[in-house]
């Protein structure tokens, strides 16, 4: 028996309508409901969802920005509303700008993440009617009144980092509006004069005392690349690989690295799934929420697999909310763990591959 999200369960009550169409499924798709419709395609900005969908034989396109070829022949767009409203507006506007004007539209999502805002967000573009509600979700039917114009330049947000570098990010990217406290603490743990210098420089590759050091660094769950953006000036000889699952993060990281002329390798990856080779250091500010629920499964996978991707005496350094059990996970995976920096909310942990 298939496990469907509440949003898909409400859609399942309308299969008579769905079966009449060639369907584009898009948005926050977390199950394989699309597989039940032969004439369907999924557009997703989440790499881990794309790999799962492809594995289940579903025609899938992974991108941050979709084009007319991606929606060609579609007569119905089914959009799953994500938890970040700005991301929903970004994705839905671009999709509405490329679908055929006669395309029918279904918009579905959980009430708690704001799907009901569709009732007044697109008044000049869509005629919207709520057609169902169940399982704390709402389903809307819509038709285009006017094809909107979409210009990605209107969706970039920027702010200045403490080092003066500008940070650019698209909707849905973590820390888009300001430098978050966790990343700020993680960045500060690399500053040479920082008072939290680790006790054993050998076990940290002397990162905090030799700015000329040449080393290979992997930033997992990189977001817009804020860590590399902040550290490149201090450590210009590091070779960076940045990885994230979200397509908007990948595009944002590319822009930020171009802005500082840093030739980083930027990869879409489900944690370490697409990573090759070994590194001297892995850095991460990993997510610990799935919607509004605490979920550290991603970080547990990252920590357990990290030793395989580190050279001898290579280090894993992560920042986390202090209540999370990452210190225990790192001790189990590496046999050692050290607190590098700490404040009232966050802790920076480091483990070293000693064998």
Does 205 share its domain with 294?
yes
| In a domain? residue 1 | no
User: Is the model's pLDDT at 193 over the cut of 70?
Assistant: no
The interaxial angle of helices 297-305 and 326-334, nearest 10 deg, is: 20
The last residue of one of the domains, among 152, 169, 190, is 152
Does 127 share its domain with 21?
yes
pLDDT for residue 244: 97
| DSSP state, residue 58 | -
Average pLDDT over residues 201-208: 45
User: Is the model's pLDDT at 294 over the cut of 70?
Assistant: no
Does 275 share its domain with 180?
yes
pLDDT for residue 298: 84
User: Is the model's pLDDT at 76 over the cut of 70?
Assistant: yes
Does 114 share its domain with 211?
no
As to burial, measured by CB atoms within 10 angstroms (0-12 exposed, 13-18 middle, 19+ buried), residue 105 is buried
Q: How many domains does the chain have?
A: 2
| In a domain? residue 242 | yes
Does 255 share its domain with 313?
yes
pLDDT tens figures, 81-136: 999 999 999 999 999 999 999 999 999 999 999 999 999 989 899 999 999 999 99
pLDDT for residue 157: 97
| In a domain? residue 229 | yes
Does 190 share its domain with 57?
no
Does 70 share its domain with 168?
no
Does 12 share its domain with 121?
yes
Measured CA to CA, the distance from residue 209 to residue 256 in angstroms comes to 26
Range of the domain at 147: 6-152
Average pLDDT over residues 55-68: 95
pLDDT tens figures, 212-235: 678 999 999 999 999 999 999 888
| In a domain? residue 71 | yes
User: Is the model's pLDDT at 207 over the cut of 70?
Assistant: no
User: Tell me, what CATH number does 95's domain have?
Assistant: 3.40.50.150
Does 135 share its domain with 169?
no
| In a domain? residue 125 | yes
Does 61 share its domain with 102?
yes
The last residue of one of the domains, among 152, 178, 213, is 152
With the CA atoms of 93, 95, 96 and 98 taken in that order, what torsion angle do they form, in degrees rounded to the nearest 10?
130
As to burial, measured by CB atoms within 10 angstroms (0-12 exposed, 13-18 middle, 19+ buried), residue 313 is middle
pLDDT for residue 212: 61
Does 117 share its domain with 163?
no
| In a domain? residue 111 | yes
The last residue of one of the domains, among 133, 152, 171, is 152
- The dihedrals phi and psi of 121, each to the nearest 5 degrees, come to -85, -30
pLDDT for residue 187: 92
Does 238 share its domain with 282?
yes
Q: Identify the residue with better confidence: 296 or 190.
A: 190
User: Is the model's pLDDT at 61 over the cut of 90?
Assistant: yes
Closest CA to 144 of 162, 123, 163: 123
């Amino acid at each position: 028996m298939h496990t469907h999200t509440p949003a898909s369960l409400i859609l399942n009550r309308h299969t008579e309508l769905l079966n009449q169409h060639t369907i584009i499924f898009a948005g926050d798709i977390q199950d394989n409901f699309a597989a039940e419709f032969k004439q369907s395609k999924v557009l997703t900005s989440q790499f881990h969802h794309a790999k799962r969908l492809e594995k289940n034989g579903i025609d899938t396109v992974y991108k941050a920005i979709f084009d007319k070829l991606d929606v060609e022949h579609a007569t119905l767009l089914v959009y799953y509303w994500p938890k970040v409203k700005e991301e929903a507006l970004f994705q839905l506007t671009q999709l509405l700008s490329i679908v055929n004007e006669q395309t029918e539209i279904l918009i579905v999502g959980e009430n708690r993440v704001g799907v009901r805002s569709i009732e007044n967000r697109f008044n000049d573009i869509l005629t919207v009617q709520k057609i169902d509600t169940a399982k704390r979700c709402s389903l809307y039917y819509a038709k285009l009144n006017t094809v909107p114009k979409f210009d990605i330049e209107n969706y970039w947000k920027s702010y200045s980092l403490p080092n003066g570098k500008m940070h650019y990010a698209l909707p849905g990217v973590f820390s888009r509006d300001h430098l978050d406290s966790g990343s700020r603490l993680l960045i500060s743990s690399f500053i040479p004069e920082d008072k939290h210098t680790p006790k054993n420089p050998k076990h940290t590759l002397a990162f905090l005392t030799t700015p000329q050091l040449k080393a290979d660094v992997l930033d997992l769950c990189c977001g817009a690349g804020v860590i590399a953006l902040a550290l490149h000036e201090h450590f210009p000889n590091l070779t960076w690989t940045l990885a994230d699952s979200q397509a908007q993060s990948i595009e944002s990281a590319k822009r930020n690295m171009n802005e500082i002329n840093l030739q980083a390798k930027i990869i879409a990856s489900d944690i370490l799934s697409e990573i090759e080779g070994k590194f001297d250091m892995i850095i991460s500010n990993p997510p610990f929420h799935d919607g509004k629920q605490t979920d550290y499964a991603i970080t547990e996978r990252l920590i357990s697999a990290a030793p395989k991707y580190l050279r001898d005496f290579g280090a894993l350094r992560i920042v986390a909310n202090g209540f999370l059990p990452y210190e225990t996970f790192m001790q189990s995976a590496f046999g050692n763990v050290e607190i590098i920096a700490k404040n009232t909310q966050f802790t920076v942990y480091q483990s070293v591959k000693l064998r």
